[in-house]
Amino acid sequence: MNADVQRYERELLNNPAKTDPWPRPDSLGDDLLPVPPLDPAMLPGAFREHVEDVAERMQVPVDLPAVCAVACLAGAVNRRAVIQPKRADAGWTVTPNLWAGIIAPPGRMKSNVLRAFTEHLSRVEARWRVEDSAKMLEYEKEKERYELRKQAWREMYKRAAKTGEACDDFDEDAPEKPRERRLLVNDPTIEKLHALLADNRAGLLLVRDELAGWLATLDKPGREGDRQFFLESWNGDEHFTIDRIGRGTIHVEDLCLGIVGGIQPGRLRQYLVDAIKDGPANDGLFQRLQLVVWPDFSKNWTLVDRPVNSKAEENVARVYERLAELPADEPPCFHFEDDAQELFYAWWLEVEKKICSGDLHPALTAHLSKYRSLMPSLALLFELADSEDLSAARVSLPHARQAAAWCDYLEAHARRIYGCLVSPELHAARELADKILKRKLAAEFSTRDAYRPAWAGLSTPEGARAALRVLEDYGWIRPVQGGEREGRPSERWKINPRVGEVEA
């Protein structure tokens, strides 16, 4: 046995508690609910190989690239197609606009995985820029010719007015300025984003490496208008007008903005603890992140160094490019095939039972209520990805089944996310208990030793003391009696030598 380990155990056992034995410490409980891994068969056929290739090369769960692939699929489509979920009720149509998030600890390749799919949309944009530059050059030439013709008419009109001769009106329309075609944005102001959406009626996809930072900015005082803008952009079919002195009026016919990004578990907890409390932040913004996953990472990392599966990558790129070229002025409205329609009704009934049961946390209930549009959105997207001939405007049963499977899978991840919202003190106590089990603290330690390393939830004296009080209640530690420092009781603690008998 290692000498350090023997010394550590002797220190734990060397205590004056012969008449006051240490109790067996209580378990702090599991931090995360179990979630199923994603089955690649739930993806459109053209996507499976590329998603698995990215997951293997980057050594991440297949869930991460799968969510990024579907989020970018939604970003390529946006308002270029819609679906009517009910058979007869034409009053409800769904735009397949999705908000997505991948939850993973720092350093787990979130940005690289996201870039593996957004780069395909960036290439479409790059081609558009070349084409639009040529159109803009021709527009500038035509605009100059138009101004010359209009100036010549003015001179002619002046001469006619002096001599009393008749002069025809100038009825030529000015050339129309080409619109800047875009698919992606990263960090625009609301005013610029609104202008871009006015030029891109199909919608845009906002890509953020760190969603927590974006969410935090919307909670700041004075950003209430920005928050409302994003809330209204989720449906994909809301009208939105901004009136500004100097900039005039800009109207967006159909406000449609998708979102995708990564977030760290610790920052997610911090945000959600505040966001689900009753108050201005509890407005359903986070619940609109329907496509959000928190997978388990394998503890066995393998070095994989091989070429990209270029054929699989090209298959995905072709799907994105084909769909991004669909017109958005009059998007086709899809319907379920008869058997797919029955599946949707049966699935919807089960979701409503969960929502109405009263057994769920209100935040989870609000989250599941957004699935009413999620299932038809996914079914439509999968149909668009797999089918080159869209003239029938029908969603088949296999794609409806895939969408329902995704909803079941995403519900498990939603339960994990909201299930982790224990008190910050208990979460910090679990973090500290883990450090104790890993012998990061001496058998007797101070409160300062607990917060000085700045572990998650333990970076302040107040946070550390709260966690220590929880561990004391659970029998993991006890305060060292006696002794003062500068007139205050010394904040020192002894670790229960029986901590090895229980998991954190």
Q: Tell me how far apart the alpha carbons of residues 189 and 248 are, in angstroms, rounded to a whole number.
A: 17
Report the predicted TM-score, pTM, of the whole model to 2 decimal places. Answer: 0.80
- 39 occurs within a structural domain: no
Q: What is the share, in percent, of the chain residues with pLDDT greater than 70?
A: 89
| Residues linked to residue 94 through DSSP beta bridges, in sequence order | 83
Q: Domain check: are 337 and 250 in the same one?
A: yes
Strands 257-263, 99-103: pairing is parallel
Measured CA distances, 160 to 134, 149, 166, 169, 300 (Å): 39, 16, 6, 12, 88
Which among 393, 419, 445 is the end of a domain? 419
User: What total of structural domains would you count in the chain?
Assistant: 2
391 lies in the same domain as 307: yes
Is residue 5 domain-resident? no
Average pLDDT score over residue span 267-288: 72
| Cα gap 458→467, rounded to integer Å | 8
Instruction: Assess contact for 99 and 75: CB atoms under 8 A.
Output: no
- Which residue, of 395, 419, 443, is where some domain finishes? 419
User: Mean pLDDT in the chain?
Assistant: 87
* Inter-residue contact 121 to 205 (CB < 8 Å): yes
Q: Domain boundary at 369, 397, 419, which?
A: 419
Q: What is the model's pLDDT at position 502?
A: 74
Flag whether 444 is in a domain.
yes
Tell me the CATH number at 465: 1.10.10
Per-residue model confidence (pLDDT) at position 11: 53
| Direct distance between the N- and C-terminal alpha carbons of the chain, in angstroms, rounded to an integer | 24
Boundaries of domain holding 430: 12-30+423-501
pLDDT score for 249? 67
Assess whether 398 and 457 both reside in one domain.
Answer: no
State the CATH number of the domain containing residue 400.
3.40.50
Say yes or no: 379 and 451 in one domain. no
User: What tens digit of pLDDT does each residue of 30-67 get?
Assistant: 667 889 999 999 999 999 999 999 999 999 999 999 99
In-domain check, residue 161: no
Residue 278 has a pLDDT of 53
